[in-house]
Structures are given as structure tokens and as C-alpha cells.
Amino acid sequence: MALTPHSRLPRLLHPAAWWVWGVGLAVAASRTTNPFLLLLVVAVAAWVVLERREAGTTNALAAFLVVGLVAIGLRVVMVSLLGGGVTGRVVLVRLPEVPLPDWTSGVRIGGPVTLEGLLFAVYQGMQLAAILACLGAVNALASPRRLLRYVPATLYEIGTAVVVALTFAPQLVEDAQRVRMARRLRGHSPRNPAEVGRIAIPVLVGALERSLDLAASMESRGYGRAVHRTARSIRLAGLLTLVGVGGVVVGLYGLLDGTSPLVLGLPTLLLGVTCAAAALLVGARRDPRTHYRRDHWALPEWLVAASGTVPALVMILAGARHWDGVVPRQVPAELPAVPLLLVAAIAVAATAAVLAPVPPLLARSRATARTPSEPSRELVRR
Amino acid sequence: MIEFDGVSFSYDDRGRSSDGHLVLSGADFVLDEGELTLVVGPTGSGKSTLLRCINGLVPHFSGGTLHGRVVVDGRDTRTHRPRDLADVVGVVLQDPVSSFVTDTVEEELAYGMEALGVDAVAMRRRVEETLDLLGLADVRSRPLRSLSGGQQQRVAIGAVLASGPRILVLDEPTSALDPVAAEDVLASLHRLVHDLGLTVVVAEHRLERVIHHADRILLIDEGRVSPLLDPAEAMVTSPIHPPVIALGRHLGWSPLPLSVRDARRRARDLRATLPDRAPAPPPSAPTGEVVCAVDRLVVRRGGEPVLRGVDLDIHDGDVVAVMGRNGAGKSTLLATLVGQLVPMSGSVRLGPPADSIDPARARPAEIVVRAGMVPQDPATILYADSVAEECRAADRDFHLPTGTARAVLDRIAPGIDDVQHPRELSEGQRLSLALSLILASEPRLVLLDEPTRGLDYQAKRRLVELLRELAAAGHGIVLATHDVELAAEVATRVVVLAEGEVVADGPAAGVLAGSPAFAPQVAKILHPLHLLTVEEVVACTGAAS
């Protein structure tokens, strides 16, 4: 477990370490609505991606950031139209209100739009956007497919479905681009919004066909073969899996939703994880698969995982103790405080950009960039 | 090793497919260990279905009803699912990209072995061996999507090969590859058969590439499977045959030579008598008006320059074949000509000089009357549910009188039913449909990206006739293609790209005959004569007798 020279050589970090780091950062973001802290979270995620994303892999962060921006916009529109959130004093605009019967108390359409209400919506939207940014960063740093290699054969069906789904989305985007380009050949301007409807069917059909091909390929290469199990072990594994997945979902919800009691979150999550692990062990005993070059779990993995866990723990503690600046005051609207301790806690996650080893291809391209006299022979085609 | 016992297959229970015949019938043969068997047949004849029967993907994965018995290495596919046969049979499907399960080359090679439970140490060694065997060591940690088509194909083969199957099944392994890369892949297959005694079953349209590697041939037509045949015997009657066979048949050679080497030995006398009559290469001085002018074009894709300063003028009546290895920039050039990519520097002018436009800035409607392109996968420009609807949409798109597109289609490929869904058409019919939609607006310049991918020889012949007609009618034509035989038949001019630069540009006879990689079979046989096709030889010998 020592910091051997081997562990610092260019290599890919264990995907699980990146996921622990990213989920930790997301948990931290889920605990605060302070816009400055949330911006810091996004900045940390973006910087680590910039520093440690393997060359040539798709950058999922950009797509997730766009979705985050859309989330903020939606939130603002919904709050302006339907009210909700907080009732403020500073009225910015007064939209025409649709009269509703009395029994819909609390719900309204139109009416006054307050500064406080808008800020509340923006903060909430930013929180969601920051969580999405963390997930996007993890996707860019460690492809979910690499993590999937550690899914035991017990979950064969789920594994197939997830691999196909993970391939489906990027392929859909690729196909959509191709078909959109091809529309030009028929004299259509791709900017026309009516185009979206026309290309939807061919794109979906194409992507589905390829997904079938992928499933056929997995099948004919022996995925999920010969997991001979007794009926009893199947039942036991099934029960444990159900309880485990349920526990994980409830526990994560408890952790991410600040309003539910902490008692619901952590213990349920732990119980869930334990059950799920037991289910996997029951199945894995007869798992005939072997692993090619399993990723090492060495010191950098511990450090990266820890650097993501620190902000999560600090923010949970801060939220529980109602520290200043975690949830900024909404009424009256004021500039939120920036508690230095919390900034420092989130900044700890940024150290992953230094602690993690450089991915091999990125290291090589940086090396060639440093010696520009020698042209890169690795022409990336397509 | 592989036993087909009275096998027939159809997609519904009554034993008939929708258009009234079995997808597969009369398959009754035994393939021995250590043989390379070639499956030959027109598009849509059931080749893929036959191959998929071998590891049980048909019917376990496809649905439908299989009669008879398929036994592979003593295991009946009735009781063994494809995954249970994975240690014996390796299948490489048609499109390598859609069969990739992981992200990088090494992981993809190891994937099958992981599923089979190969010991970690042995697995490590086999991955290294496979990397060397298929020449992939340089790209071992690269993401699969960043590889060229040829590399992807080799990874797909390596991925099934690494898990050590005794039988290898390949569906069109070289259709996406340039001649040299294809020869590489086939040479490694040949080595596997001869050194390791693997049993290999291949389906391939471009017979000129594989026929001399084959030990046995299965002919298949509309689902009817022939018994196992000897290659030379099968080629005497086969309607589908490469140029070397056509030449041999024309000259009455028996037994038929299958390889260029054999044919060259037989042609010694022919070469001695022909030189005087060989026509001089036709003058290629451009006569027509310029319809497309490319000047010092530089295009980047994903940060890398793909085209580095390309100059090219295309005239009315020119048929230009753009050739070069996978990733040389052929498709990029075509895409730039119709404004799908924006050049970094240099210029493209479309249309005659008096009325030319810059495609990168022009509206799509302005481009389509000057240049029409059929993309590599014609299905990407087909959207409607029926052929008739597709033709009507094209008429509307190009503001033409109703029925124009349909009339063009009837001329190119008569007899395509109005109500058919474009996806149900055969590969050749789909190309014809896409081509007629594009041609309906009579663009001055017609661009085709890999038009013969998946086409059988008959469909190819119709395409060649059509292209000649178009050129005679004054259209400029540009083909990006790996198919040297197509280039030899139809091109008046050949442009060879390498690393984004034009390395050769001249009359087809000169460029093709002089190149070891791009020479068509007839040119190789009759070298140093400047004859490229059987037709030309027929014309020469016919004139003599």
C-alpha cells in the first residue's frame, strides 16, 4: 500500500475510486444551496476532468452541464409561473393570475413574481446542476463500462441491459448527427425545428438495430454462460438483491435529501450495501469468469476516494449543525456568506487532480506536446 | 466439425417467409477441420442467415423456425445457446463497430476470455499474442472509436480469435477495407487455417479478394444452398465470379485459374500476342466545363488535419475515382464538397465558374442542384415508410413535378414495389433508390461514397452502366471507393490520396495499371500492358479474330 514508483506511473485509476470521489462531491453539493459553494463544486469537477481525463475518450461533462443549465431554466420558469418555494416581499413583476377554486389552496397560476422566489429557484436549480456536473465528471473520468466489469455474473441480465443502454445513448447522438447531416443532401436546412420529428424515427430504428447487434455479439462471445446454480441459491440471491437494492435506494435518498432525518439515510444505506454485497457473494461463489488486468487499488486510489469523501462528511456535519452559509437565508434576499471552512472542505476534492496518476495516453500526448520537433505519429482518425 | 443436416429456416411457423419462400433451404453438408469455406451468393440470398446458424444465433436470437439439425463439434445448436458454443465458435458480425462491448483495444480482446473463464496468466499472454498476430500492438490502449475502419475490423477478428475457438465465422470481413488492409486480414486468416488448423467460414462479395484462399465453396441463391463444391469447378458455372474467372472463361482456359499468379502463367502467350494491339491510354485532356474547383483545401477533423492542401478540378463528363487507404481523407473530401464540413483554409467552388457557390456558406437547397451525394450508408437519406412516399418527398424537396423521382428509379432499378419499406429492400435496391432520389434534381456533379459496399456483381454491373450513361449525359462524377475493379471499369481519372495529400492524379489506365496495391486483376495478369478490364481484353482479342 506504499507510494511505490509503480503506483505513480501513468495508468488509469481504479474506476471505483473515481466513483467514490464523484458521489462524495455530489453528496456535498446536495447538502447546500449556497451558490458560491455550488459554483466551487462545479469548478473543482471541471478542473479534475481537465487534468485527468484520458485522451480520446468522450467528455460527458459538457453534456451534463448543458442539462444542468436547462434544469436551472426550467426551475425558474416553473417558480415564476406556479409560485411555490418561498413567499418574498420584493415583487419584480406581476403576471396575470388565473383564478382557481378555493380547494386548490397553495397552488396558483401567474401572480406576483418575487426576487426571493426567483433566487430560491435559481439556488435549487444550481444544486441540481452541480450534482449533475459531478456525475458528468465521473462519467468522463471513468467510463461506466469499466466499472461494469466488476458487476458479478449473478446480475447477468442487468449487466447486458446496462451495457446496451450505455452504448445506446452515445450511438443515438452519433446517428442523429449523421442523419441530420444527410438531410442536407436532400436540400433541407438542418436548423429547421420541424426536422427533429422527421429524423427521430430513422435514428431510433438505426440505434435499436445496432443495440441488437451488440447484444448478439455479447451472447456469441459467451457473456453470462454457465452460471450453474441451485434453485435455493437463486432464491436467496434474489431476495438479498431485492432488499439490498431497496436499501441502497432509500439510503441514498435519505442522504441526498437534506430534509429527511439522518437516521433514515446512513444506516439504511449501510444495510442495503451489506445485503447487496451478500447477494453478490452468494452468486459470485460460482462465477466462472476471470479478470484481465484487474485495476490495482493502491495508495492513489485511497487518496482520491478520501479527497471526495471529506467534502461530503464536512457538508453533512455542517448541514446537521446548521452552520452559517450552508443554506443561505432567502427572506429577505441577501448576499450569502462564504464560510472558509466549507470552501476548504470542497477544495480538498480538487487535490484528486494531483493525487491521481496521469492516464497513459494523456501522458504520452503531453510528452509529445513538450517536444514539438518530433511530430506525433498517433494520428487519431475519424 | 460443422454438420448441417437438412437445414431449412423461415421466420414464421408455416415455414414460408412473407414473400413466399424459405430464407434458407436444403443446407446439407459437413465441413471438415482445417478448411476455409467461402459462402458465395447475391445480396439478400441468405448468406448471413447461414453463418448465424453455425453458432445458434439463428434461431436462438433471431426467432423463426429451424428445421433439420446443426451440430458443431458434437454439440447440437438445438440444445446449446450461442453462449454455450462461445468456446468453439467465434463469430465476427458484419459491422465491427456495433459489436464492440468495451472501450479500448486490449479490453475488447480480453472480453471473450473473461467470459469463458480463461486463467488470468494465460489470458495476458494470449492478448499479447493476438496483438502481434493482427498487428495491433501500436494501438493497444487506444479507444476503439478512434481507430480506422481497417483497424476496427482487425480488432473484431482478434477479439473472437483470442478466446481460442476452433471455428471462425466471418461475415464480409473486408467490405470496409482498402485493398492492402483486406489482403492483410485475409493473409492472417490463411495463416490461421494452415498453421493452426482452424476451420474458417467466410461470406464475401468481393470474390477477387478471397477466392484463391478458399478450399471449398457453398453457392447460395434465394436461400437454396448448394452442396460443397471445389472452387475451380464452382466457378465454371457460378453467375457470380471475379474478373480473373471471367477472363479465364472467355479464353476457354481449363482448369480455371483462381489466382492472379496462376492466370499470369497461363497468359504468357496472350501477353506476347497482345502488345501490338493494346490501345494507347485514352487522352484525358478535359473537355467539359469545370463543375467543381478545389484549391489548396485544408480540412481538420477532431483537431487533426485530414486534408492537407488538396487541389482538384472536376469537369463535365469526368468520372473521378478517389482512392487511398482507410482514413486517407476520401470521405472527408466528399463531405467538404457538399458543405457538410467547413474547410480551415483553401476554397471549394461548386458549379460552373459563371454561377459557382461556396458550399460551406450556401443553403442546402442551393447545393443540391449543383452537387448531389449518396452517403456511405444510403439508408441515412431515407426516412419514409414506403418507396412511393420516399419518391414523393424527393419531388417536394427539390420542387419537381410529381413522379420525377419514381421515373428515375424505374430506369435505374425497374420493378421495385411502391409499398415496400426502404429498410426491406436489398442493399443494391436501397442504393438505387437513394441514387435516384439524388439524381432526380439532375445535379451537375454526382458524388458517391463507397457505392459498391455490399453489392453483388450484377448490381455492380447495373451501377457501372448507369454511371457511364450519366457521364455521357454530361454529369461530373466522383466516386470514393476501395473497389479497384469498379474504378477500372468506370473511372476516366483516378486520384490517389495519402495522409490527406494527392499523391497521384491521372488517367485511370496509367494510375491503376502502374500501382501494385490498386491494380485490378486483369492489369496484374497482363502487366505491362495497359489493359484494365475483361471487356477491354475481349475488344482486343475480338478485333484480332
* B86 found inside a domain: yes
Nearest Cβ partner for A290 among B83, B118, B159: B118
* B175 found inside a domain: yes
Q: Is the predicted pLDDT of residue A50 greater than 60, yes or no?
A: yes
pLDDT of residue B17: 46
Contact status, residue B148 vs residue B136, Cβ threshold 8 Å: no
| Domain match, B419 and B525 both | yes
| Domain match, B294 and B235 both | no
**Shortest CA gap B89–chain A (Å):** 8
Q: Which amino acid is at B263?
A: A
Of the three residues B197, B222, B239, the one that is the final residue of a domain is B239
3-class SS of residue A55: coil
Q: Which residue has the higher pLDDT, A162 or A264?
A: A162
| Average pLDDT score over residue span B534-543 | 80
Count of domains forming chain B = 2
Contacts of B112 in chain A (CB under 8 A): 221-222
pLDDT of residue A382: 38
pLDDT (tens digit, 9 = 90+) per residue, B75-118? 999 988 898 899 999 999 888 888 888 888 998 999 999 888 88
Q: Is the predicted pLDDT of residue B13 greater than 70, yes or no?
A: no
In the numeric block, which cell numbers belong to residue B186? 485475409
Q: Is the predicted pLDDT of residue A354 greater than 50, yes or no?
A: yes
B385: pLDDT confidence band, cut at 50, 70 and 90? confident
Q: Do B95 and A213 touch (CB under 8 A)?
A: yes
Q: Is B411 on the interface with A (CB under 8 A)?
A: no
Q: Could you give the CA distance from residue A61 to residue A68 in angstroms, rounded to a whole number?
A: 10
Q: Which residue has the higher pLDDT, A322 or B448?
A: B448
| Domain match, B342 and B457 both | yes
| Average pLDDT score over residue span B437-447 | 89
Q: Is the predicted pLDDT of residue A369 greater than 80, yes or no?
A: no
Q: Is the predicted pLDDT of residue A210 greater than 50, yes or no?
A: yes
| Domain match, B299 and B211 both | no
Of the three residues B172, B207, B239, the one that is the final residue of a domain is B239
pLDDT (tens digit, 9 = 90+) per residue, B473-502? 888 999 999 899 999 999 999 999 998 999
**Shortest CA gap A329–chain B (Å):** 46
| A65 backbone φψ class: left, alpha, beta (φ>0; ψ -120 to 50) | alpha
B396: pLDDT confidence band, cut at 50, 70 and 90? confident
Q: Give the helix ranges, DSSP H, for B440-530.
A: 457-472, 484-490, 508-513, 521-526
The region of weakest confidence among A211-220, A327-336, A370-379 is: A370-379
Q: Could you give the CA distance from residue A189 to residue B233 in angstroms, rounded to a whole number?
A: 55
Question: By residue range, what is the domain housing residue B488?
Answer: 290-530
**Shortest CA gap A184–chain B (Å):** 5
pLDDT of residue B89: 94
The region of weakest confidence among A7-11, A356-360, B11-15, B451-455 is: B11-15
pLDDT (tens digit, 9 = 90+) per residue, B321-340? 999 888 788 989 999 999 88
Count of A–B CB contacts within 8 Å?
186
The region of weakest confidence among B58-67, B120-129, B536-545 is: B536-545
User: Is the bond preceding residue B528 a cis peptide, omega within 30 degrees?
Assistant: yes
Contact status, residue A355 vs residue A3, Cβ threshold 8 Å: no
* B52 found inside a domain: yes
| B304 backbone φψ class: left, alpha, beta (φ>0; ψ -120 to 50) | beta
Angle at A375 between CA A372 and CA A378, to 5 degrees: 125
Q: Do A381 and B127 touch (CB under 8 A)?
A: no
Q: Could you give the CA distance from residue B177 to residue B527 in angstroms, rounded to a whole number?
A: 25
| Domain match, B345 and B198 both | no
Q: Which residue has the higher pLDDT, B146 or B483?
A: B483
Q: Could you give the CA distance from residue A165 to residue A171 in angstroms, rounded to a whole number?
A: 10
Contact status, residue B350 vs residue B314, Cβ threshold 8 Å: no
A156: pLDDT confidence band, cut at 50, 70 and 90? low
Q: Is B118 on the interface with A (CB under 8 A)?
A: yes
3-class SS of residue B331: helix
pLDDT of residue B15: 45
Closest alpha carbon to A212 in A182, A173, A152, A171: A171
Q: Is the predicted pLDDT of residue A150 greater than 70, yes or no?
A: yes
Q: Is pTM, for the whole model, over 0.90?
A: no
By percentage, how much of chain A surpasses pLDDT 70?
Answer: 81
| Domain match, B396 and B468 both | yes
Identify the burial level of A208 via C-beta atoms within 10 angstroms of its C-beta, where 0-12 means exposed, 13-18 middle and 19 or more buried.
middle
pLDDT (tens digit, 9 = 90+) per residue, B275-288? 655 555 555 566 77
Q: Do A292 and B61 touch (CB under 8 A)?
A: no
Of the three residues B213, B239, B265, the one that is the final residue of a domain is B239
Q: Is the predicted pLDDT of residue A378 greater than 50, yes or no?
A: no
| Domain match, B191 and B296 both | no
Q: Is the predicted pLDDT of residue B545 greater than 50, yes or no?
A: no
Q: Could you give the CA distance from residue B467 to residue B475 in angstroms, rounded to a whole number?
A: 9
Most confident of A34-43, A103-112, B515-524: A34-43
The region of weakest confidence among A62-66, A258-262, A352-356, B507-511 is: A258-262
| Domain match, B87 and B7 both | yes
pLDDT of residue B515: 82
A379: pLDDT confidence band, cut at 50, 70 and 90? very low
Q: Could you give the CA distance from residue A278 to residue A271 in angstroms, rounded to a whole number?
A: 11
Instruction: Provide the CATH number for the domain around residue B67.
Output: 3.40.50.300
| B26 backbone φψ class: left, alpha, beta (φ>0; ψ -120 to 50) | left
Kindly report each contact of residues B74-78 with a partner whose C-beta sits within 8 Å and lies 24 or more positions away, as own/partner.
B77/B53
Q: Is B368 on the interface with A (CB under 8 A)?
A: yes
Q: Do A216 and B61 touch (CB under 8 A)?
A: yes
| Domain match, B298 and B223 both | no
Most confident of A38-47, A274-283, B313-322, B372-381: A38-47
* B265 found inside a domain: no
Q: Do B379 and A202 touch (CB under 8 A)?
A: yes
DSSP string computed for B399-450: T--TTHHHHHHHHHSTT--TT--GGGS-HHHHHHHHHHHHHTT--SEEEEES
In the numeric block, which cell numbers belong to residue B228? 460443397
Segment 198-257 of chain B within 8 Å of chain A by CB: none
| Domain match, B217 and B342 both | no
**Best to test chain A binding among B342, B381, B390 (most A CBs inside 10 Å):** B381
| Domain match, B216 and B356 both | no
Residues recorded for chain B: 545
| Domain match, B188 and B78 both | yes
* B247 found inside a domain: no
